[in-house]
Structure 1
Amino acid sequence: MSINRKELEEIATLAQLDIPEQQLGEITASLNQVMAMIEHINEADTAAVKPMGTPHEAQQLIRPDAVTDCSHKKDLLALSAHADEDHYLVPKVIE
């Protein structure tokens, strides 16, 4: 399948792209090269290839959901220049 200049102009219109007239030929040629690569890839025999969910063959480790960290709220609030018991205090910026 190849793309001609008229089709490229229609695609550009639908995509709301303003392609300069002098670049239409170059872009058409580039798109046709991409389409040729896709056709070449599609010619590969993949009948014996098993679909995979992930490119990695590693098994996912499943662990139980368990709380491992405690709250560091007091430690973090202590680092602030201005804080009360539960919140960071910041200057008012909206009147």
Structure 2
Amino acid sequence: MTIDEQTVDKIAHLARLKLNAGEKAEMIADMNKILGFMDKLNEVDTTGVEPLVYMTDEPNILREDEVKQVITTAEALENAPEHDDAHFLVAKVIK
């Protein structure tokens, strides 16, 4: 598969991009290079190769989630410009 100007126009429209003629030419060249690289990868024999899920076998060393500070609903609403007894009130933005 090769990328042509119509394909770039369609992708640019979907991505809401406006490309001039020079940018389109660069985009066509770049996308064709990417597809060429993908074709090279498709030539590689991957028979017997397990799919890679993680880049490392190291265990997860992140800390556990712990509750550090608890505030009440009343405390959370103290600085709210508008609120009722239990909720923040905000302007309606969707009709």
Q: TM-score range by the shorter chain?
A: 0.5 to 0.7
- RMSD, aligned CA: 3.3
In the alignment, the residues of structure 2 paired with residue 44 and residue 30 of structure 1 have an alpha-carbon distance, to the nearest angstrom, of 22
* Equivalence for 1:27: 27
The Cα of 1:59 is off from its aligned counterpart by: 5.3
Say if 2:40 is the partner of 1:40.
Answer: yes
The Cα of 1:38 is off from its aligned counterpart by: 1.1
Q: Greater Rg, structure 1 or structure 2?
A: 1
In the alignment, the residues of structure 2 paired with residue 60 and residue 23 of structure 1 have an alpha-carbon distance, to the nearest angstrom, of 43
1:1-95 to 2 correspondence within 5 Å? 1-58=1-58
Structure 1: where are the runs of 5+ without partners?
Answer: 62-70, 72-95
Aligned residue pairs, count: 76
Scaled by the length of structure 2, the TM-score of the pair is 0.56
% identity of equivalent residues: 26
